[in-house]
């Protein structure tokens, strides 16, 4: 294993990240890129500044673009199993107020997924998006204390989603079992968003 830290919104930092990745994977290439970085500050149309809007888009949408673009040479080098997995959100589908910039940025990630799946079809790279409910991560538990109850009330599965609830779907999307699936949005949210 190799660890490299990078600000996914910064083009130079992402380039350094993939320099480390390339030295680690070498000629084998990279099989899976998982775009999961995200920030989600609260804000309404009346109080979000342009700088806050741009920062949320920079991390949530530009970050997926930059890391995917940085990973592509290594993905194309892999002999098989080339996968891109993006993390979306239930928020755009639910129309939750008070988190407008996050909602718009995550909707952009879904559009990015759909278009990129067509663009990379010739490279045999699959691109899919996974949409969770609100997951009980350390950041969520710190920034949104007490949010569990109303979210659980919206779900059919009556418990707070844990990171481990996404493992099966992520392994599936990263594996050969999903090789005929691309451009799709897979919702794993305990029945919070019903499409």
Residues marked active site are found at: 102
Q: Which of 78, 87, 85 is nearest to 31 (CA)?
A: 78
> If phi over 0 gives left and psi between -120 and 50 gives alpha, with beta otherwise, what is residue 59?
alpha
Q: Cα(168)–Cα(154) distance, rounded to whole angstroms?
A: 22
The residues near 86 (Cβ < 8 Å, ≥ 6 apart) are 35, 64, 109, 110, 112, 113, 127, 128, 129, 130
* First-to-last C-alpha distance (Å) of the chain: 38
Residue 67 tokens read as 């890391």
């Amino acid at each position: 294993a190799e660890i490299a830290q990078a600000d996914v919104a910064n083009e130079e930092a992402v380039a350094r990240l993939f320099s480390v990745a390339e030295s680690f994977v070498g000629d084998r290439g990279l099989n899976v890129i998982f775009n999961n970085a995200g920030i989600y500050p609260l804000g309404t149309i009346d109080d979000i500044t342009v700088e806050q809007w741009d920062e949320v888009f920079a991390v949530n949408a530009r970050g997926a673009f930059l890391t995917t673009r940085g990973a592509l040479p290594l993905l194309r080098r892999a002999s098989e199993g080339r996968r891109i997995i993006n993390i979306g959100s239930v928020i755009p589908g639910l129309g939750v107020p008070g988190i407008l910039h996050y909602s718009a940025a995550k909707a952009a990630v879904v559009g990015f997924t759909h278009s990129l799946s067509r663009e990379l079809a010739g490279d045999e790279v699959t691109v899919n998006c996974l949409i969770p409910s609100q997951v009980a991560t350390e950041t969520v538990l710190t920034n949104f204390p007490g949010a569990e109850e109303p979210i659980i009330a919206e779900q059919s599965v009556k418990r707070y989603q844990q990171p481990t609830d996404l493992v099966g779907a992520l392994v599936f999307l990263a594996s050969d079992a999903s090789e005929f699936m691309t451009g799709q949005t897979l919702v794993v949210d305990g029945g919070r968003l019903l499409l």
